[in-house]
Structure formats: C-alpha cells, structure tokens
Amino acid sequence: MSISATTPEQAIPRGLSPWLTFLFAAACGLVAANLYYGQPLAGPISADLGFTPAATGLIVTLTQIGYGLGLLLIVPLGDLTENRRLVLLLISVSAVALIGAALSTTPAAFLTASLSIGLASVAVQVLVPFAANMAPDATRGQVVGNVMSGLLAGIMLARPFASFVAEASSWHVVYYLTAGLMIVLAIVLRANLPVRVPKTKLRYGELLASMAHLAMTSRVLQRRALYQAGMFGAFSLFWTTTPLLLASPAFGLTQNGIALFALAGAAGAVASPIAGRLADRGMTRIATTIAMLLG
C-alpha cells in the first residue's frame, strides 16, 4: 500500500489481509516479550551484576514502571503523529535499550536499560489500535483478538525462551538476540505497514487532559480498568516471584526446568481469539465473567 504521509486517517483501505494480521500479531508478541525476559533471569542477572537481594525485584519492577509511564505519556502520541513512524521509532529504541542491557556491568546501567525497554515496549499499544482501525466493523473484535493472541503468546513464551537461551549460553545472549529481532522487525514493518495519520486536532496537553476526563467520567472505562488492574496485578505478582522460588534450594530447578514450567502459561494465548469472537457477537459481559472466574 502506498499512501502519502499527508493522507487523512479515513483514507486508509479498510480490511486486513491474513499476512498483515499475522504481522501485527507477531510484532505485538515480539515487542511485548521484551518486558518479560528479565523475570526468569533475575537470579543470574543479580548474581552477575551484584544486586542486593532487596534490589533484585527492581530488575522486573523498573521495566513495568517504564511501561506504565509509556502508556501515560507516549501512547497518546498515537493520536497525534503518524503511526508507522512512531512504531518504528519505539522499536528502534527497544533495540538500543536491549543492547544496553546486554552490555551492562553495573546494577545502575542495567536498571536504566530496563526502564528504557519498558518505555519503548508501548509500541504494542500503538499497534493494537492501528490494526483495529484497519479492520471492518463486523470483524474488528476477531482481528483485535487475533492480534492480542500474538501479544499474549509473546508474553508467555518470553520466559521459557529466556530460560532456555540463558541455560545454553548466558543472560547477555538473550538480550543480544532480542535486540537483533527488533532490528529485523523494524525492517519488515517499514516495508509492510501502511501510513496512518490521525485526524485529531487536539494538542498533546489537551489529549492528556481528555484522558483524565475519560477516566473520571466513563463508568465502562473505570470498570474495565479495575478488572484489568486486578487480573494483571495477580499475573505479574505470580510470575515475578515464581522463578525465584523455583530456583531456590526448596525446588532447585535449573533455567531449563523453569522454562518448562513457564510453557504452561502459553495456553492463555489461545483464549484471545475466542474472546474477540464473543465481543463481535455482543457477549462481552459473558467473556469478562468467564475470564475473571478462570483467573
């Protein structure tokens, strides 16, 4: 697709080819995975770089803090700037930050890289609405579900991937490999993503203020945010502490053993397309209830 950089948003052809849907899903998975490589590697990283036991949790926490800041301050730029350019910039920053993590020799350097990885990983939250905007109304839920399936697969497979690679080589290699993946991904996306120029006329400050207004006035948004905070909080708490526990003398698992344990979580990616189809049929409450009961 060739579209001028000044083309208005509504001029983008509607509909996603299977290839482009797959590309969105794969991109979301690869970028989201960057947030979670540190979880199973917290032990080796802390031992190698000299983290104190109390500071080891920051290996994971600072990445999530960076992601949270990115959601607040960077993702709104998706409504102001050309989306493909923003995605490519964020993925490029991810590659640099991952290389920085691999080269780190002190806790401060690694934590700085971790914060940057989190900030840049919000590219996924630009890609998801990008895909949704291109999808026809009748199948938007299904498309978003498929893209989210890729995102969740990346999250769940990041841990076993990191563990297997670290066991075979070192934790440094994990970050070098994933930096290479980001470079390849940026090249592929640049060649395949269409240009999407948002049509909003709000300024950045006004956009942030509108987000605050929505948070204060939208009951649906408030409920969904509460649901997600509870479910993802429990998810993060479990997967942050479990690798450390499994590697402790109580269980004595190697990185390969932790990887096999983490593979069980990959089944969660199967649920996203199902949830998307339920949403297209107007069954969002049923899907939400089932998800919360299973979670």
Report, as an integer, the average pLDDT of 179-203: 93
Token pair of 276 as six digits: 């998307």
Token pair of 233 as six digits: 């909080």
Cβ–Cβ under 8 Å, residues 166 and 41:
yes
% of the chain residues with pLDDT over 70: 88
Give residue 83's pLDDT band: very low, low, confident or very high (50, 70, 90): very high
If residue 70 lies in a helix (H) or strand (E), which one and from where to where?
A: helix 58-73
pLDDT at 3 over 50: no
If residue 133 lies in a helix (H) or strand (E), which one and from where to where?
A: helix 124-134
What value, to the nearest 5°, has the Cα angle with vertex 132 and ends 293 and 188?
110
Look at residue 251 in the predicted model and tell me its pLDDT.
86
Amino acid residing at 81: T
Q: What are phi and psi of 197, to 5 degrees?
A: -105, 115
pLDDT at 151 over 80: yes
Look at residue 6 in the predicted model and tell me its pLDDT.
37
* Domains, the chain: 13-294 (1.20.1250.20)
Residues 274 and 268: their CA atoms lie apart, in Å, by: 11
Amino acid residing at 19: W
Q: Report which of residues 292 and 238 the model is more confident about.
A: 238
- List % helix, strand, coil for the chain (3-state, nearest 5): 80, 0, 20
Residues 214 and 175: their CA atoms lie apart, in Å, by: 38
Amino acid residing at 197: V
Report, as an integer, the average pLDDT of 158-163: 90
% of the chain residues with pLDDT over 90: 51
Q: pTM of this prediction?
A: 0.81
